[in-house]
Structure 1
Amino acid sequence: MTTIVLDIEGTTSSTESVHVGLYAYARPRLGPYIDAHRDDPDVRAALAEIGADATAEAVKVLHGWMDGDVKATPLKTLQGRIWAEGFAAGELTSHVFPDVPPALRAWHASGHRLAVFSSGSVASQRPWFANTAHGDLSVLVDHWFDTVNAGPKREPASYARIARTLGDPAGLLFLSDVPAELDAAAAAGWRTTGVRRPGEPNAATPFGPHPVITTFEEIDL
């Protein structure tokens, strides 16, 4: 059986739903969240990595990263915590493309394992898949990976690290809309498939040697 590892933005879900919907939700809440959770070890670690103790200074850095779509771990950690609270409060609902839920359910029912590898923190990945308009998809996912427990998504070492948990790289299939991520996975011995979603930022990007699909229905396992 194959283990299918999923990217989120541009692959299972629209980039706009993250960069517009979730970012807009988190942006005004960063400062209040930091002030309310300064005793939390993860928040203290994030502030130390940012290099700012004052909330206003930290928020300025975080907003700059958001504006530049920088995949910085402190930002992803704090955003993930805020989004998790928003999902728990019923204030957020995640987006997935319509072909995703039936494909995930079919793969899971066939005995294939599912995992997620996203730059968004694990704290945000679980509620994202749990709170879709198509029901709770998180119950189908066995493993969750982010830049903290795996590493940067464009480095082969990150995929080698994930393979130590999931098993033989030859049995791992990574789905992503980012060619550089696919290149890194392939360099670690994984199977890869590019996801070209119409209207997404990477819809016209060349995928080089990687097979390309436009919907999950085209994947033959």
Structure 2
Amino acid sequence: MSELTDYKAVLLDIEGTTTPVHFVYEVLFPYAQRELQNYLEQHWSDPNVQEDLQTLIEHFAQEPRDDKGRPTGEGEDQSNVEAFKSEVIERINWAIDNDKKHSGLKSLQGRIWRSGYQNGELKAPLFDDVPAALRTWNERGAPVYIYSSGSVEAQKLLFEYTEEGDLRDQLSGYFDTHTGNKKEADSYRTISQEIGEQPGDVLFVTDNLQEAEAANEAGMKVAVSKRPGNAELSENPFPVIESFEALV
């Protein structure tokens, strides 16, 4: 795996790569659902929240009805605020349950999580090798970037409120679905351009084989993360690592 030590920049996934999958699905998602109604009641008139909601409504209007036959939101009457609010909450919960990657949903979740992090209810776990690897990469002059389906806001929060303290100073930038779909090669080409590196000089680490394939197609070096709690990996052509120690 000598090629995995020959790079100028590092691009990391979060879920199943730096952070246990269970934190996302068993802690963050349930927290956002549990606090959703109360958060919207308190922040309904916030222009940023309304922007998230309008983005979500546009997404819902483009989707088919769910398996319960609920409408998608096209032509939604927003004049009855309470009825509209109730319907929006129901659809958002459905989107969370189905792990939808809508930018509006991710942004709204990030706002709710910020409240949880700030009041001490949330603290992000990292795999043991992650903090030391981040420091080593920075000491060697290899900037580290994050690319996750979670919003940039949520990414920053996670690394600000880790169990090891605030690690944001170890990271040089963040990318989310506004950059593009993580399973499409063009997204990785865009990131390479934005960070000023050739794709072949960037190492991408993820637990998702489709993301690995997309980054590889774009020309990046790729390592697949095999961590406790991750789904079993099918046979694939990529180097598999169980710790960042194999990369630094």
* CA–CA separation in structure 1 for the residues paired with 2:235 and 2:8: 22
Match of 1:3 in 2: 9
Instruction: Find out whether 1:125 has 2:155 as its counterpart.
Output: yes
Match of 1:216 in 2: 244
From the superposition, tell whether residues 143 and 88 of structure 1 become closer, same or farther in structure 2 (CA, over 3 Å). Answer: same
From the superposition, tell whether residues 216 and 103 of structure 1 become closer, same or farther in structure 2 (CA, over 3 Å). Answer: same
1:79-116 deviations in Å (ceiling 9; x for gaps)? 01111121122221001011111111111111110000
Q: How does 1:71-90 map to 2 (within 5 A)?
A: 71-90=101-120
* CA–CA separation in structure 2 for the residues paired with 1:205 and 1:176: 12
1:48-68 deviations in Å (ceiling 9; x for gaps)? 233255221111111112111
**What is the SS of the residue equivalent to 1:43?**
helix
* CA–CA separation in structure 1 for the residues paired with 2:213 and 2:44: 39
Counterpart of 1:175 (choices 199, 205, 211) is 205
Match of 2:48 in 1: 42
Match of 2:172 in 1: 142
Instruction: Find out whether 1:27 has 2:42 as its counterpart.
Output: no
**What is the SS of the residue equivalent to 2:223?**
strand
Instruction: Find out whether 1:198 has 2:228 as its counterpart.
Output: yes
Instruction: Find out whether 1:18 has 2:46 as its counterpart.
Output: no
1:181-217 deviations in Å (ceiling 9; x for gaps)? 011111111111100113312xx22252211101111
Match of 1:70 in 2: 100
AA at the equivalent of 2:38: P
1:16-70 deviations in Å (ceiling 9; x for gaps)? 1111111121112222323333344432232223325522111111111211122
AA at the equivalent of 1:8: I
RMSD: 1.6
Question: Is contact 2:10-2:144 (8 Å) kept?
Answer: yes
* CA–CA separation in structure 2 for the residues paired with 1:154 and 1:21: 25
Question: Is contact 2:22-2:229 (8 Å) kept?
Answer: no
Identity %: 38
How many residue pairs end up in the alignment? 217
**What is the SS of the residue equivalent to 1:77?**
helix
AA at the equivalent of 2:177: T
Note the C-alpha offset of 1:172.
0.9
Match of 2:67 in 1: none
* CA–CA separation in structure 2 for the residues paired with 1:42 and 1:19: 25
Q: Which of 1 and 2 has greater Rg?
A: 2
Q: Unmatched 5+ residue regions in structure 1?
A: none
Higher relative contact order (CA 8 A, sep 6+): 2
* CA–CA separation in structure 1 for the residues paired with 2:127 and 2:217: 28
Counterpart of 1:100 (choices 130, 145, 150) is 130
* CA–CA separation in structure 2 for the residues paired with 1:144 and 1:154: 17
Answer with 49-58 or 189-198: which moved more: 49-58
Counterpart of 2:188 (choices 144, 147, 159) is 159
TM-score using structure 2 length: 0.82
* CA–CA separation in structure 1 for the residues paired with 2:86 and 2:39: 12
Q: Unmatched 5+ residue regions in structure 2?
A: 1-6, 58-72, 79-83
**What is the SS of the residue equivalent to 1:35?**
helix
Question: Is contact 2:21-2:229 (8 Å) kept?
Answer: no
Answer with 43-52 or 98-107: which moved more: 43-52
**What is the SS of the residue equivalent to 1:194?**
strand
AA at the equivalent of 2:193: R
